[in-house]
Amino acid sequence: MASVEIVELTRNSRKHYEMVVGAMVRIEKKLFPKHESLAKSFEEELSKKNCGLLYLKINGDDNDDDDVGGYVMYSWPSSLLASITKLAVKERYQRQGHGEALLRAAIQKCRTRNIQRVRLHVDPSRAAALSLYLKLGFQIDELIEHYYSSDRNAYRMYLDFNDN
């Protein structure tokens, strides 16, 4: 039986860092269309100032070639605002509460920085993701047409901490 924990990605061990990032890039390629994928720029995104990443570490799962079950990337471009850049959970770990746990952990990291608002974008057709964000208190700010592509829109959503 596998155990699960949420871990903050650090560069303490280059080998481990590269293995974890490699696993995330594979997840990215599998779950997201090419034009939405950060697969080619994952390390570049991580090297940006004020960027954080938490990942779902799977311990003791003999069926897995790596120990990454999902991740959430976030940034805080200002002292008041943070953005959830990416939330992904490997297909076999979806619908088990892992996405919610990752998102809650990222929100908590933002709270410790005294961020007042967290924002994100989501395709309205991604019902499970939209439902999760609404469940955690995110509100729809506006519909942005053609955000992902000429035929795909996005809701810009936000969570204000002073409203909770």
Q: Which two tokens stand for residue 160?
A: 């204000």
- The span from the CA of 99 to the CA of 119, in Å, is 16
- The span from the CA of 110 to the CA of 118, in Å, is 8
CATH number reported for the structural domain that contains residue 27 in this entry: 3.40.630.30
Considering only the C-alpha atoms of the chain, give the largest distance between any 2 of them, rounded to a whole number of Å: 44
pLDDT at 61: 56
- Tell me which residue of 58, 86, 60, 68 sits closest to 23, measured CA to CA: 68
By three-state DSSP, how is residue 101 classified? helix
> Angle at which helices 127-135 and 98-112 pack, to 10 degrees?
50
Expressed as residue numbers, the domain containing 98 is: 3-163
In degrees, rounded to 5, the angle at the alpha carbon of residue 132 between the alpha carbons of residues 136 and 27 is 125
pLDDT band at 164 (very low <50, low <70, confident <90, very high): very low
Start-to-end CA span in the chain (Å): 37
pLDDT at 63: 52
88-144 pLDDT tens trace: 999 999 999 999 999 999 999 999 888 999 999 999 999 999 999 999 999 999 999
Q: Which two tokens stand for residue 99?
A: 């996405």
If one counts the domains in the chain, the total is 1
Please give the mean pLDDT across all residues of the chain. 88
